[in-house]
Amino acid sequence: MAVHNYDVVVIGTGPAGESAAINAAKHGKRVAIVDKQVQVGGNCTHWGTIPSKALRHQVKQIMAFNTNRMFRDIGEPRWFSFPKVMERSRGTIDKQVEMRTTFYARNRIDLYHGVARFKDEHTIVVRDRQEGMEELVAKKIVIATGSRPYRPADINFRHPRIYCSDTILSLSHTPRTLVIFGAGVIGCEYASIFSGLGVKVDLINNRDSLLSFLDDEISDALSYHLRKHGVLIRHNEDYASVEGNESGVVVHLKSGKKIRADAFLWANGRTGNTDSLGLENIGLEANGRGQLSVDEQYRTALPHVYAAGDVIGWPSLASAAYDQGLNSCNELLDKDYRFVSNVPTGIYTIPEISSFGLNERELTEAKVPYEVGKAFFKDTARAQITGDIVGMLKILFHQDTLEILGIHCFGDQASEILHIGQAIMQQEGDANTVKYFINTTFNYPTMAEAYRVAAQNGLNRVF
């Protein structure tokens, strides 16, 4: 068995692992990175963020074509199968893999493909698909193995009509009806994607509202537009059993209801990828969801072993994972670091949602005197030009100091629009004020102009 010595070994090539490895390499460390897949990119590139968002973009284009009056001169509305749309989306995955593979070569990072397992506190054994093994000895180790869909034992995921959010990407047909259990971010995103393809969707939510961490007005808007596209939302429901047969799936709910559909998608919860790491060999233990606990320097109970990304839990976002990996590596390099806590929310439903800061419910509970400024996209020239008139921008600010306390956006390009407000909110002292949007000239016509409209709307209420 070959033995290799490194300054840093990173396990996982998703956003957290990639940023940690490249950061270490750029600071003169000898680095190796390990991934169990034959291609780099981790779950983000192959199963999660990239394929689902590429798929969403294709569906959004189809919806735009089918609803644009100008295209009626060309012909009738067109419908596309799920496999056809997914095939088109795979081009993005290939480009991501090629680009990220180049990153490792350019930074002279040794790449190992295989399952990594701790032999001791400084030694990792990598077993490849041909049962070949190599030992990597490292001074510092970063665990960035990501997560996978949680699969309850009482549901038969081997059945050809029962899927999780990973296996749904290999769906070989377009179901006429689909039941999605779990109305979190992933469930809502897939509900909007499949309804955009003309699939009748039942969305089962075990809570009393959609995405309750959002501003109530934004959550209500999401519910309205999902229903408008044919999604039937069932709140406060839980499953009793899921039965698959040759013709479809029957979902039995604890309330006594039965729902039949062509296919079933489980989208409720995720589990950290720690079960194959051999954590027992180094005295570490994951929690019940397979996640590792870390301190504010991303160190586990072993000071030379770090963890970042989905494997440590909240917020389980690719954007946060990249920053977590970067900062975990900064700490082990004895450089300035930060604990990633202020993270914008990006939800890629159709239309999409993004937010940063506090919502109205939180401010009211905290007894903070705030005011609201709104801009509806239907009233902006750019949205009228593009036809993307659904949505709004909402600014929450302090009544007395005019400090911006929260930005909430629903509509096309919401996750892009939000960054302007986020940048102002991150400024210190008097630089964070809603007056910035009044005193700054925005290009016209643009979606960013909504900030000026919302600021004027809110300031009109201040006395």
User: Per-residue pLDDT tens for 421-460?
Assistant: 999 999 999 999 999 999 999 999 999 999 999 999 999 9
For the record, the structure tokens of 221 come out as 């808007």
Label the pairing between strands 249-253 and 258-261: antiparallel
> In this predicted structure, what is the pLDDT of residue 79?
77
**Residues 180, 143 within the same domain:** no
| Within-domain flag for 61 | yes
Which residue range is the domain that position 258 belongs to? 162-268
CATH number, domain containing residue 412: 3.30.390.30
Confidence of residue 65 (pLDDT cuts 50, 70, 90): confident
Which amino acid appears at position 235 of this protein? H
> Residue 31, CB half-sphere, CA atoms under 13 Å: how many?
29
Residue 220 counted as an annotated binding residue: no
Contact, 93 vs 46, CB < 8 A? yes
Average pLDDT over residues 276-288: 97
| Within-domain flag for 346 | no
For the record, the structure tokens of 275 come out as 């079960």
CA nearest neighbour of 227 among 207, 210, 251, 208: 210
CATH number, domain containing residue 171: 3.50.50.60
- State yes or no: cis peptide before 315, omega within 30 of 0: yes
| Within-domain flag for 206 | yes
User: Per-residue pLDDT tens for 90-110?
Assistant: 899 999 999 999 999 999 999
Residues 6+ apart with CB under 8 A from 284: 292, 300, 301, 302, 305
Q: How far is Cα 372 from Cα 463, in angstroms, rounded to an integer?
A: 13
Q: How far is Cα 6 from Cα 108, in angstroms, rounded to an integer?
A: 12
Domain boundary among 268, 288, 316: 268
Q: Reduced to 3 states, what is the DSSP secondary structure of residue 448?
A: coil
For the record, the structure tokens of 279 come out as 């954590």
% of the chain surpassing 90 pLDDT: 90
**Residues 27, 145 within the same domain:** yes
**Residues 40, 17 within the same domain:** yes
Label the pairing between strands 200-204 and 232-234: parallel
For the record, the structure tokens of 177 come out as 């009806």
Residue 409 counted as an annotated binding residue: no
User: Per-residue pLDDT tens for 401-417?
Assistant: 999 999 999 999 999 99
User: Per-residue pLDDT tens for 355-382?
Assistant: 999 999 999 999 999 999 999 999 999 9
Domain boundary among 251, 268, 285: 268
What mean pLDDT, rounded, does the chain reach? 95
Helices (H), 199-248: 216-228
Confidence of residue 333 (pLDDT cuts 50, 70, 90): confident
Confidence of residue 262 (pLDDT cuts 50, 70, 90): very high
Residue 188 counted as an annotated binding residue: no
Residue 48 counted as an annotated binding residue: no
**Residue 12: C-alpha distances to residues 20, 140, 321 (Å):** 10, 15, 12
Contact, 106 vs 19, CB < 8 A? no
Which amino acid appears at position 102 of this protein? T
Residue 434 counted as an annotated binding residue: no
Residue 110 counted as an annotated binding residue: no
> In this predicted structure, what is the pLDDT of residue 334?
78
Q: How far is Cα 366 from Cα 45, in angstroms, rounded to an integer?
A: 39
The H or E element spanning position 99 is helix 82-106
Residue 76 has pLDDT above 80, yes or no: no
